[in-house]
Amino acid sequence: MPLGPVMLDISGTQLSEDEIKRLLHPLTGGVILFTRNYVNHRQLTELTQQIHALRSPHLLIAVDHEGGRVQRFRENFTKLPAMRELGKIWDKQSSRARHLAKQVGFVLAAELNVCGIDFSFTPVLDLDYGKNSVIGDRAFHHEADVVSDLAYNLMLGLKKGGMPAIVKHFPGHGYIQTDSHLEKSIDPRRYTEIEADDLVPFQHMIDSGVAGVMPAHIIYSEIDSKPAGFSRIWLQNILRKELQFEGCIFSDDLSMRGAGDYLESMPSRAQAALDAGCDMILICNNPAGVDEVLHGLRWEMSATSLSRLARLHARNNTGSIIKLRENGEYVQAVREISIIGCESGELPLQ
């Protein structure tokens, strides 16, 4: 059964019968996991194996595991720094920051990989304008070139760990103060301003072969009256044609208020996001909304979308955490990560 366009969540550490039915639905293509789905490595691995065994090709399994505030699995996982810490190091010693970004990406991917996770929605490419607390220290830096540099090196680390990079939140979430999880969000800037700054890291990562992009639930009122994730102007005209992105476009969570103020019903949001150009849509913390979409959406995946999704399966996720901890490169990377952001502010010796 080919993958469908819906990525949904589950409620606990094991699959219920209702959840298995949802995962077997032809419209389902992936699962996003949260902290509530994790107890320990063994349980997580058993859960991902159960999910993968349901379908062929197997359902994609994703997580928001960036570092800092946004790290879903913590116990027995390496504590990853907020990306801003890498930006601070870049200001003092750019070559060291690049190296550490690779190490963070490697550890992030390798630890998820051995537990059966296909990818994380990372890195964040938003610029830190000092306005948006939702982004805040999730952003590498306020300068576009620094964000581009560090994100690229983190992507190299992810690749070494067996995972693709999925960047967000296109075309940039850092400028506004509002939280699109909770309210309608509008960025009033002209396209030339956004292009000169916020789009720079996205263009750089696209040119470097990034596998996926997630647009923001923000209305850029000078460009379109629709949020970027529902806008053919942003997704087709700009992202696909102008920036020449050929990878997978994921919607942000359609349950967010920034999406709900645009369209009321979940099936209408799903249809609008797919019509605009998303290859896969996320619906989180809303099982009733998932059921409405699975029962009401009419959508046939294109061969192009299926090909994009197929490239997102993780590589080499057949190892174990025990074997990983015997890997010298991994041990060294964990050691280096552990002193990022230390209170002294001193950089480790090379």
Annotated binding site: 64, 72, 138, 168-169
Closest C-alpha among 125, 107, 3 to residue 65: 107
Token pair of 61 as six digits = 């399994």
Are the beta carbons of 4 and 27 closer than 8 angstroms? yes
Is there a catalytic annotation at residue 126?
Answer: no
DSSP run (H or E) holding 149: helix 144-160
- CA-wise closest residue to 337 among 84, 80, 94: 80
* Residue 155 to residue 208: CA distance in whole angstroms: 9
3-state helix, strand, coil in the chain (%, to 5): 45, 15, 45
Let me know if 304 is exposed, middle or buried by CB neighbors in 10 A (0-12, 13-18, 19+): exposed
Residues 51, 57: Cα–Cα separation, whole Å: 11
Tell me the C-alpha to C-alpha distance, in Å, between residue 29 and each of 32, 65, 85, 172, 304: 10, 20, 35, 26, 15
Task: Decide if 198 is catalytic.
Answer: no
Burial (CB count <10 Å: 0-12, 13-18, 19+), residue 133: exposed
Cα–Cα distance for residue pair 162/120, rounded to 1 Å = 11
> Mapping DSSP to helix (H, G, I), strand (E, B) and coil, where does residue 270 land?
helix
Could you give the dihedral angle defined by the CA atoms of residues 95, 77, 7 and 245, in that order, rounded to the nearest 10 degrees?
10
| Catalytic one of 181, 224, 261, 291 | 181
Catalytic residue among 118, 128, 187, 252: 252
Annotated binding site for substrate: 64, 72, 138, 168-169
In whole angstroms, what is the distance from residue 263 CA to residue 226 CA?
A: 10
Burial letters 316-344, b for 16+ CB under 10 A, else e:
ebeeebeebeeeeebeebbebbeebbeee
Positions annotated as catalytic residues are: 181, 252
